[in-house]
Structure 1
Amino acid sequence: MIHDHTGRAALEKGELYVAARAFDELVRQIPVPESPAELPGLVTASRQLSALSGLVNDLADEVHSRAGGDGSGLSLGPVVCAYTTASVHAGQAVADYAEAYQQLGFLHRHAGTPDSGDVSDVREAAFGAAQWRLELVHGSLHEGGRGLRGSADRLDTAPRRVLAALSRSTPANSIYRAPVPEPTRAPAARLTYTPEPRRGR
């Protein structure tokens, strides 16, 4: 059966852009605080950490739905690789946010502790650690979104039949698998009959 996947590459390109925008949206939702007063509360922080974890799950779902292939002339390797690479950045963002989350928990626990020299120093250190981790979260999210967008930009959308018409080989960043040429068959051997020479009597 011949499958016509014209437009599939454009669809995959669009999905990569959607995933990149999910990274961008989390950058917008998770600001880096300039002062302790701008730190998120634990309720907000819990929602943000859940959103980051959800991003990792979404990327895993994208890979899962494509990794098996459909055996119909598509090679989704470039797309799968884009999602797995983005998952590294998303996972790092989760890890860094979890570190900031721990500092927020510490500050919440000691919110009612009377101020003193030592307490103020500890609170300032906790804020600095949380701020630094949130900056790292931003960096990972920026890298993840930029990588997905770059993969989408590079994805070749020319259908295989167009490449064939132009006598071009299938590029490495195409999802269209090059057709396997049929093996050439040697011509069947023809048996000929050669009569034996007659012997004289």
Structure 2
Amino acid sequence: MTDHTGRASLEQGELYAVAREFDELRERITVPGVPSGLPGLVTASQQLATLTGLVKDLSDEVLFRAVDVDPGLDFGPVIDAYTSAAVPAGRAMENYTEAYAQFGFLRRFAEAPDSADLDDARQSAFHVVQERMELVRDNLREVSDALRGAADRLDGTPPRVLAALSRSARPTNSIYRLPVEPPAPGPVRLAYTPAPRHGR
């Protein structure tokens, strides 16, 4: 049987690494205080592309483990961490694309003649960007917190130690699957063979 000792630590490290990537993107996304502080459309496009890639990474992490049929490993806790993190990651995508549409509007009418209606529309677009960017940052923090929390809770007790524990004492958040013990054999019954009857 394959020795999986240390695999839990590797899974924890991967969860922490993905969480850091979401943290890094969050640090690059700022909430502008004034219209002049808005990021350019190129920067916004790059940030959206990065966010899209991170969401794809979550599904790739799930897929990689979902197809693993190693009888000694149970990736349930790890898969649950990534699929749960996909929820706030999806909300971050939704909020960023709402802001992204406003960037396009502002770019389209950047050189249009000023008017009261256009000024109001520009100000409204700016407020939408402010609101959505704040939500994106909150969503990204929720993703990284969820992944980091799952990594913290993942049990790293080695398989050999788990095997020595009683079933009730084994941690529920372990990725190690212990072999199923065969049922204890019952008492051996000796077959009774009656003596043959002799005809009279």
| TM-score normalised to structure 2 length | 0.91
State the alpha-carbon separation in 1 of the partners of residues 118 and 194 from structure 2: 110
- Identify the residue that residue 126 of structure 1 maps to in structure 2: 125
State the alpha-carbon separation in 2 of the partners of residues 196 and 179 from structure 1: 48
Compared CA separation, residues 50 and 197, structure 1 to 2 (3 A): closer
* Aligned-pair CA distance for 1:172: 1.6
**Higher alpha-carbon deviation: 170-179 or 59-68:** 170-179
State the alpha-carbon separation in 1 of the partners of residues 102 and 197 from structure 2: 105
State the alpha-carbon separation in 2 of the partners of residues 143 and 37 from structure 1: 29
CA contact (8 A) 2:163 2:178 kept: no
CA contact (8 A) 2:89 2:143 kept: yes
**Higher alpha-carbon deviation: 86-95 or 100-109:** 86-95
- Identify the residue that residue 46 of structure 2 maps to in structure 1: 47
State the alpha-carbon separation in 2 of the partners of residues 167 and 20 from structure 1: 34
State the alpha-carbon separation in 1 of the partners of residues 147 and 18 from structure 2: 7
**Higher alpha-carbon deviation: 119-128 or 184-193:** 184-193
Within a 5 Å distance, the mapping from 1:143-162 to structure 2 comes to 143-162=142-161
* Paired amino acid for 2:143: G
- Identify the residue that residue 135 of structure 1 maps to in structure 2: 134
Query: Cα deviation per residue 1:66-121 (whole Å; 9 max; x = unaligned)?
Result: 01232321110000010111111111111111110000100111111222322221
Compared CA separation, residues 189 and 36, structure 1 to 2 (3 A): same
Question: 1:186 aligns to what SS in structure 2?
Answer: coil
Compared CA separation, residues 41 and 195, structure 1 to 2 (3 A): same
State the alpha-carbon separation in 2 of the partners of residues 143 and 193 from structure 1: 73
* Aligned-pair CA distance for 1:193: 4.7
CA contact (8 A) 1:170 1:178 kept: no
State the alpha-carbon separation in 2 of the partners of residues 66 and 31 from structure 1: 34
Runs of 4+ off more than 4 Å: 196-199
CA contact (8 A) 1:3 1:72 kept: no
CA contact (8 A) 2:19 2:143 kept: yes
| TM-score normalised to structure 1 length | 0.91
Within a 5 Å distance, the mapping from 1:1-201 to structure 2 comes to 2-167=1-166, 169-195=169-195
In percent, how many aligned pairs have the same letter? 55
Structure 2 unaligned spans of 5+? none
* Paired amino acid for 2:69: D
* Paired amino acid for 2:184: T
Compared CA separation, residues 196 and 102, structure 1 to 2 (3 A): closer
Give the aligned length: 199
**Higher alpha-carbon deviation: 169-178 or 25-34:** 169-178
State the alpha-carbon separation in 1 of the partners of residues 8 and 133 from structure 2: 35
Question: 1:54 aligns to what SS in structure 2?
Answer: helix
* Aligned-pair CA distance for 1:179: 2.8
